[in-house]
Homo-oligomer: A and B are copies of this chain.
């Protein structure tokens, strides 16, 4: 890996790990195709205690966004309130009152899935499509996230790399700039006694979210962070996982591992591999539970809102053990 040649490294990885055509030229699901009905049966069998966890951050103005690329925190406002209802301002009969609300938010503002139309490689979208006609001002006309709506439910695996690898200083958190390699991932799985394979939804905890919760957002949205090394592209491809998510803003390590680069691993895995990526997930409560009972696999439903033509979606992933 030549630090000075991101474009070359990306081109090579893109070629090596491409899944273009693998599921036909009309495919709109990418690696989600790996998540089969058999895998769902396997996942459901992991519900042993019946305990459930939300892996979502809360959506509100106390989030990490600072306006970069017009990404704000969610703005939630009320159309009607209990205050007005109680004062009789609403004009409804027989003592009924109501409250309604509205939200305005970037789909990438908090816990989310990146859709297949979120990233392009030299003007090419997933499966080799022309980005220029696939994702226009009208949204993603082909691979909008609505197509994934029924499918994101299966076996989840937590790799708490923060806990296993970052344990030296007692924080169970990886420092910013820490590149998680294939070796870290496999060592973590081994430490957990859990396997990762075809069709799994893998969630990787770095611990950064726990740290910024304690210390303040700082540059959580776009600044230095632990995350997956560019070199994990092969592992991501070879394992044939259906999806992967982290507790960080950008999934991959930042600063990126090349000079003058911007999210090079995204450029490989989204448009070329068709991998479903989740970001800003909150894995802390689940991780505590997994550490306690030693079970790092579970049933996971992480259903994107079927916003027509969206290149991402807020999501409240729910894990059940």
Contacts and interface: CB of A to CB of B under 8 A. Distances in A.
15 contacts: A10-B95, A40-B50, A41-B48, A56-B149, A59-B306, A77-B102, A79-B137, A80-B137, A83-B135, A86-B120, A94-B262, A95-B123, A97-B122, A100-B311, A101-B108
A62 B146 CA distance: 14
Q: By CB atoms of chain B within 10 A, which of A36, A80, A267 has the most?
A: A80
A170 interface: no
A52 interface: yes
A303 B119 contact: no
Interface size classification for chain A: 35 or more
Interface in A77-94: 77-87, 89, 92-94
B51 A82 contact: no
Contact of A137 (B67, B133, B137, B152): B137
A50 B301 CA distance: 13
A279 to B, nearest CB: 12
B7 A94 contact: yes
B139 A262 contact: no
Interface in A206-220: none
Contacts of A311: 78, 99-101
Contacts of A60: 307-309
A60 B308 CA distance: 6
Given A52-B151, A80-B69, A119-B96, A305 B102 contact: no
A291 interface: no
Interface stretch (A156-164, A179-187, A221-229, A312-320): A312-320
A153 B307 CA distance: 22
A54 B150 contact: yes
Contact of A79 (B10, B51, B77, B305): B77
A101 B125 CA distance: 16
A106 B299 CA distance: 31
Contact of A318 (B49, B80, B93, B303): B303
A130 B146 CA distance: 34
5 nearest A-B residue pairs (beta carbon) = A37-B50, A82-B131, A82-B135, A44-B47, A40-B50
Contact of A57 (B150, B263, B306, B314): B306
Given A41-B47, A120-B96, A131-B82, A303 B301 contact: yes
